[in-house]
Amino acid sequence: MSQTHEIKAQSRKDEGKGASRRLRHAGFVPAVVYGAGQPPESIQIEHNTVLLAAKHEWFFSSVLDLNVDGKVQKVLVRDWQKHPFKQLMMHMDFLRIDETHAIRVSVPLHFLNQEKSPAGKTSGVVVSHNLTEVEVSCLPKDLPEFIEVDLAALKPGEIIHLSQLKLPASVEIPALHLAGHDVAVVTANAVQEEVEDAPAAEGAEGEAKPADESKK
């Protein structure tokens, strides 16, 4: 189960591009909270708070305790806009959740013991992580921050499929209910080296060379 992560925010009344621009200049990130049958709420969060939280993968894949003026509500990060090249978060959207209903969230995969596996120790074998996250469905209280994929027994030529992932109790992968969606998560394939053809010799060995026309 996920740990509790609290994000503090304040409500705001000013809206529009001009108000958002003033907030950013003052060191805040404009944001909106919506969902769960309640009206949307405009909020602001200190930019340093967002910047620090965004360095952790849980910020984007966990249920957060959003504390707005002392009132806590359970939310998920649903959208965010970053500056094209600056370390600056421009805007965020948070989705309120109902703790009695299942949610779908993409959670990261953590790959363990690859260097200890037979595939990892075999020269010329490349272990590929074809997925780095997977969408799961569960109640908010059961949402894992990540899913571990133990590669200790992975051998050359083997494949780990989506259905082979070990999930926490009460957590499932919706994609597995669809035919043909049991995709490869990890593959261990041997690399085939390309051998360049040797340049053709000017004269085949043992073959008589043509006479020098200048000596005729």
**What's the distance, Cα to Cα, between the start and end of the chain in Å?**
94
What band does 15 get if pLDDT is binned at 50, 70 and 90? confident
pLDDT for res 167: 95
Q: Does 36 have pLDDT greater than 50?
A: yes
Residue from 39, 45, 52 nearest 69 by CA: 45
Residues 6+ positions from 13 with CB-CB distance below 8 Å? 42
| Average pLDDT in the chain | 88
Residue 213: other Cβ atoms inside 10 A: 6
> Can you tell me the mean pLDDT for 90-115?
95
Q: How far apart are CA 72 and CA 43, in angstroms?
A: 13
> Mean pLDDT throughout 148-161?
96
Question: Is residue 50 over pLDDT 90?
Answer: yes
By mean pLDDT, which of 60-69, 77-86, 132-141, 156-165 is the weakest? 77-86
> b vs e for 61-90, b when ≥16 Cβ sit within 10 Å of the residue's Cβ?
bbbbebebeeeebbbbbeebeeeeeeeebe
Residue 194 is predicted with a pLDDT of: 59
Q: What is the mean pLDDT of residues 135-145?
A: 95
pLDDT for res 200 = 57
DSSP-based three-state secondary structure for 194: coil
**Rg, C-alpha atoms of the chain:** 28
Q: Which residue, chain included where needed, has tokens 């000017």?
A: 202
User: What SS3 class is residue 200?
Assistant: coil
Residue 201 has pLDDT above 60, yes or no: no
pLDDT of residue 75 exceeding 90: yes
Q: What is the DSSP letter of 169?
A: T
Banded model confidence at residue 76, pLDDT cuts 50, 70, 90: very high
Average pLDDT over residues 155-163: 96
Q: What global pTM score does this model have?
A: 0.78
Domains of the chain as residue ranges with CATH: 6-96 (2.40.240.10), 103-190 (2.170.120.20)
The mean per-residue pLDDT over the stretch 86-109 comes to 93
Dihedral pair phi/psi, residue 47, rounded to 5°: -60, -40
Q: What is the pLDDT of residue 216?
A: 46
What is the identity of the amino acid at 110?
H
DSSP 8-state symbol, 114:
G
Query: Model confidence at 107, in pLDDT bands (50, 70, 90)?
Result: very high
State how far Cα 216 lies from the chain centre: 77
Q: How many CB atoms lie within 10 A of CB 164?
A: 12
- pLDDT tier for residue 160 given thresholds of 50, 70 and 90: very high
pLDDT for residue 206 is more than 80: no
